[in-house]
A and B are shown apart, each in its own frame.
Chain A
Amino acid sequence: MRSWTAVAAAVGSFILSAPTVAAVPTVQTVLSPKFQPPPVFKNLNLVRTTNLDKGYVRETVNVVVQNVDQQPQSEYYLPFPADVFDHVGALEVRDKKAPDAGRFDVEAVKVGSSSSDVHYYVVNFPEPLAPKAEITLGISYSILSALTPRPAAIQQSDKQFLNYAFSAYAPSAYQTVTQKTKLKLPTTNVPEHTTTEGLKSGADPERQGTTYTYGPYDTAKVAPGTAYPVSVRYEFTKPVITASLLERDLEVSHWGGNLATEERYWLRNNGSRLENQFSRVEWTVSSFQQQPSSAIRELTFPLKPGSVDPYFTDDIGNVSTSRYRPGKPRRDALLELRPRFPIFGGWNYSFRIGWNNNLASFLRQGPAADTYVLKVPFLEGPKVPEGVQYDQVVVRVILPEGAHNVRYETLDQSTSNGLPSSHQIAAEVSPLKTYMDTLGRTVLTLTAEDLTDEARDSQLVVTYEYTLWDGLRKPATITAGLLATFIAAWAVGQIDVSIKKR
């Protein structure tokens, strides 16, 4: 009995040494309503590249920053308009000249006034920038749900157009000497774009193939925070795939030597709605002719080599319109799914897929006794040219029953891994009771918001301790149960129930 109590106590005292935060990523600091960032920096040159190739916006800003204060400074404020702020994902800031030194610490802060039209991300330099010193920042992020279909409703076989509205002046909390914005579009079919007047001499924007360049502008005398609204409308006859929620379970089984993955998607197409009723005939004709369409026709999921037993189900049951190509050894397998119906703009589809892998490729025995290291992809998901945006991703790593001392980290690379900083990934450890469990399995739940398919290559490393007794708990419980039955059978046989004189 004592050992059970000790084990229960050990399970209760999970230690999570890596960043532990609230269950839902929240903005931690609230600034006073009249807050203005101190004017301690000057942007000498700013180049913003906006990539609209996919169904979301991907921006890279390279900026040369100079400290114009008398004191060393380490807090750089990045402003975002209030309507965009909640959709900024995977924000990453690096020293452009030393990208291998890792990403800078970034914190989201809100201005404490509902009428405020701007909120901030605060970039903390690892070392304060000395007066008059310069640093080149490489800032990259994606903006979700920023593209609006125009017209909002189209015919089934019509081309689809998206509108992107932004400011020709890059939002900045500091004075910017020169700046320009490069817009990379997926097509040359751009029926409308704003032409600026009086911002620079010559035509603005300048067009080169599918690239539009706004600027360069001399903005030394323009007040920080000034906006010059422009917009561009371009053809995008592809679905705007949005997962409002993705739940991803990774279940580790030591007894089975198996890593089971299950993903549950709540998909939506954010493209133009259908003006008329859906026509099956028209759809069949356009599918046969392989015409581009704004509907989701098929999704392709590359799976890790050695993936087996795939399944694809939805609320109704098994969906038979899928194909699995296991791939050669060491090559990715491909799971090709066709939803039950084409998903047009404004339509939803939820489904689940899952598969198994050998645990040996993902789990190693650590150097210390009873320690295990698990390395798994944080996100897999479909790989499609039009990209996928995820409003919320919940990754659950289901460790074996009795695993304790759980720690995790997401791997940083020299370029963006598509994940937000560790502050913005909420982590929680909780028990989960399922088949053959007595105490419940240890579950590490990681919640991240506003991700894109750029996070497909990101890796998650989890370490935990798991003793021999933890492993033996399942068979021991069943053994004890059957033994108790035998003893009961014997004990019942000992009772004398004969009718006789005593």
Chain B
Amino acid sequence: MTITPDMYERLVNIKTGEISREIFVNEEIYKQELEQVFARAWLLVGHESLIPNPDDFFVSQMGNDSVILTRDRQNNIHVLLNSCMHRGMKVCRYDQGNTRAFSCPYHGWSYSTDGRLVEAPGQLVGVPGFEEHYRCELDKKAWGLVRCPKVVNHKGSIWACWDENAPSFYDYLGDMRLYLDAALDHRDGTEGGSEVIGGVQKWRVKCNWKFAAENFIGDHYHNISHRSVDLVGIGPSGGRGRRDKDTAGPYQNVIIGFPALGHGANGHLPRFEEAPYFPTWQKYPEVQEYFREVYEARKKRLGDQFRVQTGTGTIFPNMSFHGQQPRTLAIFHPVGPTEMEMWRFYLVDKDAPQAVKDAIRHYALRYSGPGGLTESDDMENWLYASEASRGTIARRHPYNYQMGNGYAKPVEGLKGAVQGGDTTEENARILYNRWAQFMAGKSWSELMPAQTA
């Protein structure tokens, strides 16, 4: 099957709510995805708390490329392609660490980010035999590590984009920013103020990466797959269920999406006041008290400001977050049409008492990740949905995304947002529609008409 750009409108038919299984299993589509989506979109690469000191580095991934996230001695954060310019060897094979230079083990080329030594971060500084063998004719400035042209530190989360012509991160994010911020901010409402608990979970799942992106963009409908853990009850207040409820009073999570941008969340509609207080973490008095205190502080700090509260959300294409319990960031790296590598970072308030961080961490590990009682069941569903969609006959039949089609309505106060109530497939349609636009090779002026008009 040869896939041409004009085919995506048929593969992803938002009008009828039918999406071809090919986009989850096809090798050709996967290869185009790496070019059209991952080489163009803004991608999460890490968090500043993973590289707190000068010369710290953390090895990350963008699409199917290994990259190094580094902090230089001038405190600037860079993203460099982790491949020697001479023969391609990985210049850094550690997950994290601290170094003044990345030296290639193969022929010894070395690269530096120190602004006093080099004009451009990642520039080539050492070449064995530079005088004798290269006769000083090698242009070192031209052969530095490939540097990602666009990098943004947003409240500690680090985002990067390979496409020089891409819109700014904030235009790309639009008003979805509010929901992302509700996950990134300190629980007392202070901007940022969160840190990643040491260690990043990384695991392989033989499923298409889009299953995960769809799952977190606002899929209340799959709650039923977690019934076993709900029966056991692992929530921080005891009893059945797997977490504390989202809120008390008139507010509840609804599915809010941004059709022109491809992002979406399962969160509260925007408002100008805090929801009423209700106790959470009731099995852990000290933690319950902490969350009461930060609730009061937030209420005072934000006053009558505009705000949202968020559950899960997805930033197109492959980043998701959870803003409540457990609070996490996730990336779904493409490995193949039916394989991904999932990464999870757990967030806590940087200045929370250790006992609070401990309780949150234990809860997060009990809930999330490959060993989590909740998430282990998601992996089973995503894997066997991918597998059973590979069949010749199966591929002829689209997935059904018809729930709530045509019922979404605008959200007051959020630019370009719609909401489809508590349970709808609106956000999945938004995600795949955006994906199809990227895959059709549309230009940025077509992809971002509001910004470029």
Q: Do A and B come from one complex?
A: no
